[in-house]
Amino acid sequence: MASPTCSVLGVRALNRATLARQLLLGRAAMPAGGAVAHLLGLQAQNVKPPYYQLHARLAGFRPEELGRLMEERQVVRMVTMRSTIHAHTVQDARTLRPLVQGARDREVGYFRKGLAGVDPGALAGRARGFVEEEPRTMGEIREELLRQWPGADPQALAVAARCLLPLVQVTPRGVWGRGGQVRLTTLERWTGEGEGETEGEGMDGLVLRYLAAFGPASVKDMQTWAGLTRLRGVFEGLRPRLVTFRDENDVELFDLPDAPRPDPGTPAPPRFLPEFDNLLLSHADRARVVPPEFKGRNTSGNQSRCVLMTDGFLGGVWAAAGGAVTVELFRETAAAVKEEIVAEGEAMLAALGDGPGKVRFGSVRG
C-alpha cells in the first residue's frame, strides 16, 4: 500500500501506472465482458475500434467473443461520456447513462433556438413510442418528430431525442464481420427493464472505478473523461478512502490505495491502438501518454488516427489496407524495437485481418 503522503509522480511513473490499469503492460487473461466493464466502456464511434482495443489488451482475444456479447444484448453501443458512442456492458449502460444525463441535458440547450416551442418531455415521449415500436434510423426519427413540430430545426430534434433518451444501436450494427445501418431503440426495449443504479454505484462508485481504470488522476482528468463538471466535492468526500500524489506540475492526483503503480522502468511492449482509444482521451493532461513534441500528431483535423505506442508513449501512427499495415514512426527507433513492432502488427493482422499480412514502415497519409 502506498504512503498517504503527497509524493511526486513523474511522467514515466504515471505512464506505467496508467498502462497497468489499461491492461497494456501485458495482455490480461480476462473475458471480453470483464474487460469492457473494467475499462468503463470502449470508444465505439466506428465499428471496428472496440475489437482492436480488446486485442491490444487481452490474451487470446477473438473478435467473435465481443460480437457474441453484442448479439446476446449483454454489451450495447450508446452515447455516454463526452457525448460519444461507447460500447458498455448492460449493467454499466444502466448505471452510467443516468450519471452523465446532466451533460446530455446541457447539450440539448445548445440547440434551444431550433427547439423553440418544443416541449422536451413531449418530444421524448413521442420519440420513445416511435423507436420502441421497432428500431428506427436517425432520419426516420427526425421525420417523425417533424410531423409534430414542423417549424423546428430537424437536426435539433434528432439531437434532442438522442440526448433525452438512452438510445442504443441495435445489432447487426457493431458485430464483427456483419454490416448494418444504424438503427436505434431504447436501452429498456433492447435489454429489458433494468433495476437502475446498483449498490456501490452512483457518482462515488464512478470515481473509484475511473481511478481503477485511469488513475492516478486529478479532478480535471476525470471531468475530461466523463464530460462532466463540478466533481471536486465528490473527490473531497472520498479523500479519506484515497491516497494522493502530486505530478511534476504540482497538480494533486488521487488514487486507490492498493492500485498498481509499477516501477517507472517496467518494460512496456509496443501496442497498436485504434482511433479514439480512451487511453489518449481520458485525462486533461495527456503528457503521461503523449510526449509534448508529438502533441497533435495523432489527429488529422477533427479525426483521430490509429496510434502506435512504443515504450508506453505515442510513438507513431498506422493504417491498414490491402492486408498490410503501414507504420509511420515519429522518431528514430532501434532495430530490435522495430522487430517487436513488426511481430505485434503481424499478430494483429492474423487475429483481426483476413489472415497473415505484412508490416512495413513508411508515411501514413491523413
Q: Give the pLDDT mean for 167-175.
A: 96
3-state secondary structure the chain: CCCCCCEECCHHHHHHHHHHHCCCCCCECCCHHHHHHHCCCEECCCCCHHHHHHHCCECCCCHHHHHHHHHCCCEEEEECHHHCEEEEEHHHHHHHHHHCHHHHHHHHHCCHHHHCCCCHHHHHHHHHHHHHHCCECHHHHHHHHHHHCCCCCHHHHHHHHHHHCCEEECCCCCCCCCCCCCCEEEHHHHHCCCCCCCCCCHHHHHHHHHHHHHCCECHHHHHHHHCCCCCHHHHHHHHHHCEEEECCCCCEEEECCCCCCCCCCCCCCCEEECCCCHHHCCCCCHHHCCCHHHCCCCEECCEECCEEEECCEEEEEEEEECCEEEEEECCCCCHHHHHHHHHHHHHHHHHHCCCCCEEEECCCCC
pLDDT at res. 298: 87
Q: Is the pLDDT reported for residue 1 higher than 50?
A: no
pLDDT, the chain, mean: 93
pLDDT at res. 301: 77
Backbone angles phi, psi at 79, to 5 degrees: -80, 125
Q: Is the pLDDT reported for residue 5 higher than 80?
A: no
Q: Is the pLDDT reported for residue 161 higher than 60?
A: yes
Q: Name which of 2-6, 95-99, 285-289 the model is least confident about.
A: 2-6
Q: Is the pLDDT reported for residue 109 higher than 70?
A: yes
pLDDT at res. 155: 93
User: How do residues 295-304 score in pLDDT, each as one tens digit?
Assistant: 988 887 778 8
Q: Give the pLDDT mean for 118-140.
A: 96
Q: Is the pLDDT reported for residue 195 higher than 50?
A: no
pLDDT at res. 242: 98
Q: Give the pLDDT mean for 270-274.
A: 98
Selected residue with higher pLDDT from 108 and 222: 222
Percent of the chain with pLDDT over 90: 85
Q: What is the largest CA-CA distance in the chain?
A: 65
pLDDT at res. 200: 45
To the question of pTM greater than 0.75 for the whole model, the response is: yes
Q: Which of 10, 7, 8, 69 is nearest to 265 (CA)?
A: 10
Percent of the chain with pLDDT over 70: 96
Q: In sequence order, what are the residues at sequence separation of 6 or more whose Cβ sits closer than 8 angstroms to the Cβ of residue 305?
A: 275, 298, 299, 317, 319, 364, 366
Q: Is the pLDDT reported for residue 355 higher than 60?
A: yes
Q: Give the pLDDT mean for 275-297.
A: 95
